[in-house]
Structure 1
Amino acid sequence: MTATPAVAPSAAPRIPTGPRGHPIFGVMLEARKDVLGWFTRTVAEHGYVAQYRCPWRAYLVTHPDGLKHVLQDNVKNYTKEHISYSMLRRIIGDGLLTSGGETWLKQRRLAQPAFHRARISAMADHMVKATAELSEHWAESQRAGEPRHAGRDMMALTLRIVGEALLGTDVRAETQAVAASFNVISEQTAERFRALRFIPPILPTAYDRAYRQANRSLRDVVTRVIAQRRERMEDHGDLLSMFMLAKDEETGEQMDDAHLQSEVLTMMLAGHETTATALSWAWMLLERNPDAERKLHAELDSVLGGRLPTADDVPKLVYTRRVLDETMRLYPPVYILSRKVVEDDTVCGYQLLGGSTVDISPYLTHRLPEFWPDPERFEPDRFSPEQVAARPRYAYFPFLGGPRQCIGNSFAQMEGTLILATLAQRHRPRMVAGYTPTPEPLITLRPSGELPVMITAR
């Protein structure tokens, strides 16, 4: 495949075109009715770089060359000082996901050892054991002819794995409270942003009270996790141990509970929501694509022969990993994100003004037909080594890229591969009659209705 250039070079940067929008509210009134559809039309009508008001000046960049520039080559010019991150900070504080500058760099250096390959491999047993227990519950539901919510199951499973593997804590008793709180916060955060309701949720309304209660509930769970670990201050080799025992090189101070709370909330949100969302979509896509499902089953039979997978099997589960990669191409959990433009810049031959914002979207770039022929088709073999090498690096970026690439990408990829392999060996979830999942663009891109399914056997 020959990469399509973003634009032909020119002497002076061009001014991007884009939707006109409302004189006061910009494009938000129209875009919020159908977020994904609006962005898709904008790319089709205005190309790789578009400009609009929402009501601030914003740009949409979708070409891999432009993404490389924003996320990697000139990354310091594109910061997280954007209203969307301010809203996230209300939930998780100033943790690794939302911080910037020297604060982020310090946190990243502190967390990095927990994600070394050897440590991640050691977490495989936690992942498989937890998944095998869910498999037994699925078998019971199959025998009873009872439906399950695959999305809900994936959320509970990945939350348990994050608790055990990264936090060294059993959070199963908290699963329902965490899930309910995240649902409220995710829905309201998306609604508030699209309605331009940026003030904190401090009003005495039922809507604001529900947000505050959900936030308190999450923080109560995290406070209990930290308190339990404070009682046994020892290095368990997990991420929370590293944060709790770390000392500032200059002052010798350790993280206080408020800072620890931000990091734990970050790991709970980023560490379980995204993987669970991808796995939920995978079950739907496998049902709709029986040839791909048969190839997956054939690989599992050949590599595993009926036994549970281990970390050593992950490199052999090539097609299993491709299924997940192709799922995240079509339905990337992080489907859109924004950065603030610090100074004027030129991206793909177009001018971006300092003080504006730039939106980038894996969902859109992953569907550019120049890099993904027949982009709506589910085809895991797009991720063969030959096809990957033929595409630009940023044609596919579900974990972002550059220095701010997701620190947990290797953890998530191994986790997703082991979960899919363990469950798909025994089960074929099938959506209940009358249910058609649609994408819900909240904080992540979830399938609607938590994916109700009937469990059938292989």
Structure 2
Amino acid sequence: MTTHTGTASGVQPKEPGTPGTSGTPGTTVAGPRGVPVLGNLPQFGKDPLAFFEGLRARGDMVRWRFGPKPSLFLADPEHIGELMRETEGTFDQPELGIAFRTVMGNGVVVARGQDWRRKRSLVQPSVRPKQVRSYAATMAECAVELADQWSGGERIDIKREMAVLTQRIAVRTIFGADIGADAEAIGRAMDVAQREIGAEFSGIGALLPDWVPTLGRARIKRASAVIDAEVARVVAQHRQGDGERPDLLSRLLTAQDETGARLSDAEIRDETVTLYIGGHETTSSTLVWAWYLLAREPRVRQALTAELERVLGDREPGFEDYARLTYAQSVVKETLRLYPTIWLLTGVAREGASIGGLPLVAGTRVWSSQWATHRDPRWFPEPEEFRPERWNPDGGDEIPEYAWFPFGGGPRVCLGARFAMVEAVLVLAVLARRFDLDVDPGEIRPVPSLTLQPDREVLATVRAR
């Protein structure tokens, strides 16, 4: 039977009666009882979101086991901030499994140490505010093209519509409007990969060695082969072209590190896939959940409409409007609070690592969950309510740092965070200015895979405003 005390759980023994305050050894509590070898993996795999909420209810530092590995769950934003800030310091990026690596390769999200620092320095210039500004017109243009196709009374699947839209934006901003990848083929392959990564991570596959063949791993390999072929084709076309292009891929192809070296073909592939997932999968999911929440809360929808009429009138939004669309930003932030696209982050303790003054045994896996922390009533009163006003800079809630971390934080914060926020706000502004989407009644549940996805189609009736 799995134990939950002392070094068996990856936590150094603490002095009895030590308070769990910052700067002193923290207080930990035991999580749910596990089973031999698997630990708490069966409970985690059954419903990861409920599992983390259950751990949060037990305390701010909870010991559990991911298979045979000692793990520590963090619920307090101060401790979560320590983990985020110390990743690449006293915490390592964890091994994310063969399924994840097959799709993501060794891109900036996966890489570690000096390799990660080099890749970050090469990728970061492509998504700086100046560059995001240049992509904003493409974001709005693609949203307008979709709006022109909708008509009042039409029935749509919001999930599919947002996926097609964000695919188009990703293809144009990453690959260039004139030389596009086969977005439909890549989209299908990404859907397969995302589903299988989620299934492996929360199931027995998480404990299997990389060399063990499974049907899910075979499907991921086939999907990854499609992605590889499309990216290779577009990269080859870019290299044969003349002149500088304004897309992300062209910037990656010309980026040089401090030695003058450029990214290899394999590295270009990995970073392109990373940017594609960041620019398509995450934003698509956020927009679907936003429409779902807006349909369930007419008061918020009316407030959004009022801002769009005040700021935009009868024109389409541009990058300059992003800063003025403060309520639309709050809608997106509140959507990311309730349905964070990335729903967990982890780190692995190095020798000498600690959290909240609590020494950790090297190798302990430390977990934080956006889903659980974002719904903690200590930081978000009435946490289940969709209330964008809590983000109002004048009179909103006092939200501790790292109580909201949909893009992570610290040195490994998501490079595409601003890209994603601008894209979501501009797309929402274009479409919500013209239409209401009356989502069919019924609850839609989140499915934690690579990102947090709806469990079914999100059907709605388009109503012209």
Aligned residue number for residue 213 of structure 1:
222
Q: Given the superposition, is the C-alpha separation of residues 22 and 164 from structure 1 closer, same or farther in structure 2, using an over 3 Å criterion?
A: same
Matches within 5 A, 1:420-431: 420-431=428-439
Aligned residue number for residue 80 of structure 1:
93
TM-score of the superposed pair, with normalisation by structure 1: 0.91
Distance in structure 2 (CA, Å) of the matches to 1:334 and 1:9? 27
Aligned residue number for residue 402 of structure 1:
410
SS at match of 1:425: helix
Distance in structure 2 (CA, Å) of the matches to 1:199 and 1:132? 47
Maintained 8 Å contact 1:284/1:431:
yes
Aligned residue number for residue 235 of structure 2:
226
Measure how far apart 1:386 and its partner are.
4.3
Q: Given the superposition, is the C-alpha separation of residues 339 and 388 from structure 1 closer, same or farther in structure 2, using an over 3 Å criterion?
A: farther
Measure how far apart 1:208 and its partner are.
4.1
Unaligned 5+ residue runs, structure 2?
A: 1-18
Maintained 8 Å contact 2:193/2:224:
yes
Distance in structure 1 (CA, Å) of the matches to 2:410 and 2:218? 39
Measure how far apart 1:212 and its partner are.
2.1
Maintained 8 Å contact 2:122/2:252:
yes
Maintained 8 Å contact 2:446/2:452:
yes
Maintained 8 Å contact 1:13/1:346:
no
Q: Given the superposition, is the C-alpha separation of residues 384 and 124 from structure 1 closer, same or farther in structure 2, using an over 3 Å criterion?
A: same
Check if 1:368 corresponds to 2:384.
no
Distance in structure 2 (CA, Å) of the matches to 1:16 and 1:351? 15
Distance in structure 2 (CA, Å) of the matches to 1:200 and 1:119? 38
Aligned residue number for residue 3 of structure 1:
none
Q: Given the superposition, is the C-alpha separation of residues 208 and 119 from structure 1 closer, same or farther in structure 2, using an over 3 Å criterion?
A: closer
- Aligned residues, how many? 444
Q: Deviations over 1:271-315 (max 9, x none)?
A: 211111111100000000000000000111111112111111111
The one-letter amino acid of 1:237's match is: P
Aligned residue number for residue 66 of structure 1:
79
The one-letter amino acid of 1:453's match is: A
Maintained 8 Å contact 2:174/2:276:
no
Q: Deviations over 1:338-359 (max 9, x none)?
A: 2111124332354432111111
Distance in structure 1 (CA, Å) of the matches to 2:112 and 2:23? 34
Aligned residue number for residue 292 of structure 2:
284
Aligned residue number for residue 343 of structure 2:
335
Distance in structure 1 (CA, Å) of the matches to 2:395 and 2:362? 37
Q: Given the superposition, is the C-alpha separation of residues 95 and 380 from structure 1 closer, same or farther in structure 2, using an over 3 Å criterion?
A: same
Maintained 8 Å contact 2:72/2:367:
yes
Identity of aligned residues (%): 31
The one-letter amino acid of 2:271's match is: E
Aligned residue number for residue 327 of structure 2:
319
Distance in structure 2 (CA, Å) of the matches to 1:100 and 1:10? 28
Q: Deviations over 1:82-128 (max 9, x none)?
A: 234x5422112111111111111111112222223222112111011
Q: How large is the Cα RMSD of the aligned pairs?
A: 2.2
SS at match of 1:123: helix
Aligned residue number for residue 92 of structure 1:
104
The one-letter amino acid of 2:298's match is: P
Maintained 8 Å contact 1:42/1:50:
yes
Matches within 5 A, 1:129-168: 129-139=141-151, 142-143=152-153, 145=154, 147-168=155-176
Measure how far apart 1:240 and its partner are.
1.6
Greater share of residues in helix: 1
Measure how far apart 1:63 and its partner are.
0.9
Q: Deviations over 1:19-63 (max 9, x none)?
A: 22112211111221111111111111x211111111111111121
Distance in structure 2 (CA, Å) of the matches to 1:208 and 1:61? 31
Unaligned 5+ residue runs, structure 1?
A: 1-5
Check if 1:382 corresponds to 2:387.
no
Measure how far apart 1:207 and its partner are.
4.3
Maintained 8 Å contact 1:150/1:450:
yes
Aligned residue number for residue 101 of structure 1:
113
Match of 1:37 among 30, 50, 54: 50
Maintained 8 Å contact 2:349/2:365:
yes
Q: Please, which moves more after superposition, 316-325 or 240-249?
A: 240-249
Q: Deviations over 1:175-199 (max 9, x none)?
A: 2212221121111111112223144
